[in-house]
Structure 1
Amino acid sequence: MSQFNLIERLRDRNLVSYISHENSLNEILQNNSISLYCGFDPTDNSLHIGHLLPLITLRRFQISGHKPIALIGGATSLIGDPSFKKKERIFCSKNSINLWTEQISKQISYFLDFNCGDKSAVLLNNNMWFNEINILTFLRDVGKHFSINTMINRTAVKQRIIRPDQGISFTEFSYNLLQAYDFFILHQKYKVLLQIGGADQWGNISSGMHLIYRKNRKKVFGLTIPLLIQSNGIKFGKTESGTIWLNSDKTSPYKFYQFWMNIDDSNVYYFLKMFTFLDILEINQREKERHIGNNIIYDKSCLAKSITELVHGKENLLSVERITNFLFSKKNIHIKESDFDQLKQDGIPSEQAHDIKDLQDALVLTGLAKSRTQAKNMIISDSISINRQKIRKNHIFNNQDKFFGKFTLLSRGKKNHSLLCW
């Protein structure tokens, strides 16, 4: 094994919130290959960008010579993790969870190498062991090792108990033991020594460490990754229009890319360290030079491109770059029909072009103007474009205005766009 300090490298990239027995873990990582895991409950048909850091961290461990295990919570998702949730989750059906498990498993496979010899990643489902244990056995073999006093005093539980309008059900309360049992089984059958997860998972992770020590007298480890919270208190990845998903059918690659392009400038280098595989020394140097010219804009673009390619692949990144250049550049762009489908999905506002008489009608229909009079004034003032070409008088649309016979881009100024769909 390499002698570099992996934990310090993770810390340099802002990827360590809390870690147990750090010195012991460091010694093991520097001299041995280990197996580690992270769990993902399929509570929807896609992961979102809140899952990116655990996935990327698993990948960093694998690149460093360790064996990652991605655990799908086919059983635990039937209950739902209550950690720091304000109210109980709505239960999902078994059929939905089975379908979502397949979809999420495919997403996870993009991030890890499942064909690299001894360090090949493994994908498991905790249904494998929860389907084989009954409630009495679980209570005797697992429940007896946990103190209710300790569990109640955990912050995630206490926050719910003290709320008179919510409280916490026994079903949710038991989730902590279920995740602890996951760690125990993975340690026993797959020699897993480390569990990673978001900072809100520390209570669940430490319960697994406790169970393994009580039953086997073995020391295992936990590492949590910081949760990213925006200045408004909302988890990173949540926007006014909803969650930023990894599934391109739910969030188009273009919208995904634009999310990263619109992050606050103060976060650019912080996120370059966390989300990309650029050399840390290069990122530090870029940060020093951020005020030179438009460096920070270039570096933000580098961040957006890197993450979009990681999640959606090279072809979708090329599509995103075509769309971006088409909207914001004067270059002659050979845009594809599929690019317009992305724009129509969630890139910019779009309208069906029924019974449109002229450009003034179109501007009112799309909301770029409030009235035909305002539309007329905008056209005269040289602020309206059709397919990036300035229009200086009212216009009757013809086939030459329609890309692929279907799409016309209307623009007011440089940033306000709408897509007419014929």
Structure 2
Amino acid sequence: MKLFDELKWRGLINDISSTDLEEKLNAGGITFYIGTDPTGDTLHIGHYSSFLIAKRLKDAGHHPILLVGGGTGLIGDPKPNTERPMITKEQLDYNYKKLRKQVEELFGFEVVNNYDWMKDIHFIDYLRDYGKYFNLNYMLAKETVKSRMDIGITYTEFSYMILQALDFLHLYEHKDCVLQVGGQDQWGNITAGIELIRKKLGKEAYGFTMPLITKADGTKFGKSEGNAIWLDKEQTSSYEMYQFLVNSEDEKVVDYLKKLTFLDKEVIDELEEKVKTEPFRREAQKVLGREVVTFLHGEAEYDKAVKITNALFKGNLKDLSQDEVADAIKGFEIMEVNDGLNLVDCLVDANIASSKREAREWISGNSIQVNGEKISDVDYIVDKNQSIYKDYSIIKRGKRNYYVVESK
């Protein structure tokens, strides 16, 4: 399968600026860039597919450049429904350094910062050298701008399109970069850059976008209980990431396997069949978790994530080290209870049980475990002496329900 056909099979092509690009992608040897603004100090799982596309192109013989927008980040790409908050130069510079290190270690891409060429452009030069190539009606027709017209958009945000086009022009002139890749929400900015290169230099450049990855209900992929799944394991542990991926919906897991792994068509087709015939085994989800966690954090971290998962499922919490227990409880809400409560009162005070009667029924029915031990005594005391990690105890109800309480 040629590169372009593989990208289409994986569902990674949304918009394409020219049919000529198919041949160029298959031939290899072109320089392209993908950009992100340093609004945070780590990438999240939503970025991951985009960066994997860049790696796929790199493996096929193309040269990737990652542009981290230290300049455009000071402005902010227009959001569909509100203005982005301004970030200080100091924070953006810190974020840039962190992202650069992360991307170089994970993917080995060349990294550039558009602040380096934007910082010395004078306003009059900006208007004469770049602004005159943009027709106002052309800019207003772009989806990112059009969606904001009813509620209003500042001139600052309105100018973002020109700044991103300026990036493409700069990289075309200084890096021989002829292609920009981005998410489908960047199509308007990408085509603006193509137009600027055509009008100012009389040259042809190219662009394509990929669909945004979503859950079955259409919401963004990469959120868990309102928190982003970060690629930095210090912010999202390998266990948390593995759990997020293993809990992927059956309707979407094959799509994620295509976009987030390097598994070939034959392997993914086999997993797709197992989703249909044996969904309860969740084999596709487990493979997804293995592939992503191993790529990002290595085999040892994947093994650790599986060990924690199995220990929680089987109740073998004593098999976990203190570091592993710390990772296991990271994703849970921690509920404070008074030290030395009996288990019935603990379950009620932590809002695990709705009443003392319900709590007693669960305990007498052998449905409650504390720190991996099944408890049938309603007078069992939950205190710091029983804690599995610091002052924390892990309570399990039934097969899947876990809670973390902190004795105070």
1:407 positional shift: 4.3
Question: What do residues 341-385 of structure 1 show as CA deviations (whole Å, max 9, x unaligned)?
Answer: 123322x23335642232223322332223433322211111111
**Matched letter for residue 160 of structure 2:** Y
The 3-state SS of whatever aligns with 1:408 is strand
Sequence identity, in percent?
34
1:91 counterpart (83, 86, 98): 86
Question: What do residues 374-418 of structure 1 show as CA deviations (whole Å, max 9, x unaligned)?
Answer: 322211111111233322223235888443665432111111112
Instruction: Let me know the Cα RMSD of the aligned residues.
Output: 2.2
Cα distance in 1 between the residues matched to 2:69 and 2:324: 35
| Contact persistence 1:265–1:296 (CA under 8 A) | no
1:12 counterpart (9, 25, 44): 9
2:117 counterpart (111, 126, 129): 129
Question: What do residues 65-101 of structure 1 show as CA deviations (whole Å, max 9, x unaligned)?
Answer: 111101000000001001x521111111111111111
1:36 positional shift: 0.8
| Contact persistence 1:18–1:225 (CA under 8 A) | yes
| Contact persistence 2:326–2:389 (CA under 8 A) | no
1:32 positional shift: 4.2
**Matched letter for residue 25 of structure 1:** L
| Contact persistence 2:216–2:251 (CA under 8 A) | no
The 3-state SS of whatever aligns with 1:290 is helix
The 3-state SS of whatever aligns with 1:418 is strand
> Are 1:273 and 2:258 matched, yes or no?
yes
Gaps of 5+ in 1: 114-120
Give the count of matched residue pairs.
Answer: 406
| Contact persistence 2:369–2:396 (CA under 8 A) | yes
Q: What is residue 21 of structure 2 aligned with on the other side?
A: 25
Cα 1:158–1:294, aligned 2, differ >3 Å: closer, same or farther?
closer
Q: What is residue 117 of structure 1 aligned with on the other side?
A: none
1:193 positional shift: 1.3
TM-score (norm 1): 0.89
| Contact persistence 1:325–1:333 (CA under 8 A) | no
Cα distance in 1 between the residues matched to 2:326 and 2:320: 11
User: What are the within-5 Å matches in structure 2 for residues 7-406 of structure 1?
Assistant: 7-22=4-19, 24-82=20-78, 84-113=79-108, 121-161=109-149, 163=150, 166-294=151-279, 297-329=282-314, 334-346=319-331, 348-352=332-336, 354-394=338-378, 395-397=380-382, 401-403=386-388, 406=391
Cα distance in 1 between the residues matched to 2:297 and 2:314: 23
Cα distance in 2 between the residues matched to 1:136 and 1:186: 22
The 3-state SS of whatever aligns with 2:64 is strand
Cα 1:238–1:61, aligned 2, differ >3 Å: closer, same or farther?
same
Cα 1:375–1:5, aligned 2, differ >3 Å: closer, same or farther?
same
Question: What do residues 82-141 of structure 1 show as CA deviations (whole Å, max 9, x unaligned)?
Answer: 1x521111111111111111222222224312xxxxxxx211100110012111112111
1:244 positional shift: 2.5
| Contact persistence 1:5–1:26 (CA under 8 A) | no
1:305 positional shift: 2.0
1:158 positional shift: 1.3
Moved more, 144-153 or 282-291: 282-291
Cα distance in 2 between the residues matched to 1:313 and 1:351: 32
Cα distance in 1 between the residues matched to 2:316 and 2:389: 19
Question: What do residues 120-175 of structure 1 show as CA deviations (whole Å, max 9, x unaligned)?
Answer: x21110011001211111211111111111111112211211x1xx2111111100
| Contact persistence 1:289–1:295 (CA under 8 A) | no
Cα distance in 2 between the residues matched to 1:283 and 1:214: 44
| Contact persistence 2:42–2:231 (CA under 8 A) | yes
Cα distance in 2 between the residues matched to 1:151 and 1:59: 32
**Matched letter for residue 140 of structure 1:** R
The 3-state SS of whatever aligns with 1:291 is helix
The 3-state SS of whatever aligns with 2:67 is strand
